[in-house]
């Protein structure tokens, strides 16, 4: 199971995953099973990279939707669509941060 699939499973279970300072934090922690903990450990680096780009697991759906639109409507390969979706989310986040400053 890849990092996106794992985050999707957590989202369905009502668990939010956030990356901060190289660590993963989950809410509510009480909802984690031992299988969840093992999956988090096994996928930690991938999850940190993914969450660094998207923000937190609640924004993963936005990423997936953008990538799917770019892939199917834009005629991009999945890899190109995911890269473009991440770039789009990062641009939006930078614009929001610049506006709030």
Average pLDDT over residues 71-97: 83
Average pLDDT over residues 11-31: 89
Average pLDDT over residues 58-78: 87
CB 31 within 8 A of CB 15: yes
pTM attached to this predicted model: 0.62
Sign of the Cα pseudo-torsion (96, 67, 43, 32, in order): positive
Give me 29's structure tokens.
């922690």
CA distances from 58 to 16, 31, 43, 101 (A): 7, 16, 18, 24
pLDDT at 41 over 80: yes
* Predicted pLDDT at 99: 62
Distance CA 87, CA 82 (A): 9
């Amino acid at each position: 199971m890849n990092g996106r699939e794992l985050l999707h499973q957590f989202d369905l279970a009502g668990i939010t995953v956030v990356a901060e300072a190289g660590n993963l934090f989950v809410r509510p922690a009480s909802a984690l099973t031992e299988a969840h903990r093992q999956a988090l450990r096994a996928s930690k680096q991938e999850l940190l990279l993914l969450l660094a780009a998207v923000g937190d697991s609640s924004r993963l759906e936005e990423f997936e939707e953008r990538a799917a639109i770019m892939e199917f409507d834009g005629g991009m390969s999945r890899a190109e669509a995911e890269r473009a979706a991440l770039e789009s989310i990062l641009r939006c986040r930078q614009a929001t941060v610049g506006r709030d400053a």
